[in-house]
Amino acid sequence: MKRLPFIVIALGVALAVAAGYLYLRFGGDQSKRSGLVRQWILDPQSHSDWAVRAGEHCGGAPFAFPSAGFIGYLWRDTFQANHPHTGIDLFAGTAPNVTPVYAVYDGYLTRLADWKSTVIIRIPSDPLHPGAQIWTYYTHMADVQGNSTVSSDFPQGTSEVFVKAGTLLGYQGNYSGTPGSPTGVHLHFSIVKSDASGSFTNESLIQNTLDPSPYFGLDLNAVEGSDEVIVCKTD
């Protein structure tokens, strides 16, 4: 019985660390969404209606959501000067290696030899702009120490493996790129342009990415997106 308070304290510390990371990285007053993210991470069970479902399509949108969770940050949110956010962040509200991540559309998967937590999928014909090639990018699929939670079907060095929409890619993680310095558990997803040679461009630059809003049927950019909870509306 005496151990219970220590377990409660340890859990509280872990949640505080996650929330503290978000506060320090994204700022306490950056937007209302930052406050919502903190609320979600501290108590996701009380806000289950905030979550989207993996595989859910909004209306006739071509992409299904790649994972379950709260849509915390949007394309073009700005956390650092001159470095807008290049995708959307889905926060699971679970531990690492629990919440699955799925392909949003058919395509050809690559995982470079040095990618611990990332895969990218080439879509030869953009469903919204037929004939144009795009790539879908999924990252943070590793634990705090960089142990991968990417599916074992896609080892490092995988190149151009065909996957169907809904294929399991891995699980949400909290790897920041620096072992021992975690993010909140989430999936970062972005849509990346091709270069002139047909390869993917540098995902970290906003000009190399596309607004995901029309692909998911929701306002998922920081200009048009709401500071309120963003979920798929159903009749």
Confidence of residue 195 (pLDDT cuts 50, 70, 90): very high
Q: Which residue has the higher pLDDT, 226 or 131?
A: 131
Contact by Cβ (8 Å): 140, 171: no
Q: What's the CA gap between 225 and 223, in Å, rounded?
A: 6
Judge if pTM exceeds 0.85. Answer: yes
Say whether pLDDT at 28 is over 90. Answer: no
pLDDT in tens, 52-63: 999 999 989 999
Interhelix angle 3-26/32-42, rounded to 10 degrees, is: 160
Say whether pLDDT at 6 is over 70. Answer: no
- What value does the mean pLDDT take over residues 69-89? 90
Give the helix/strand (H/E) hosting 27.
none
Share of the chain above pLDDT 70, in %: 85
Confidence of residue 30 (pLDDT cuts 50, 70, 90): low
Confidence of residue 233 (pLDDT cuts 50, 70, 90): confident
Residue in this structure with the two tokens 């306002």, named with its chain if needed: 219
Say whether pLDDT at 141 is over 80. Answer: yes
- Residue 139's closest CA among 105, 107, 165, 173? 173
Structural domains of the chain sorted by starting position, each given as residue range(s) with its CATH number in brackets: 3-216 (2.70.70.10)
Q: What's the CA gap between 39 and 47, in Å, rounded?
A: 8
Q: What's the CA gap between 153 and 110, in Å, rounded?
A: 12
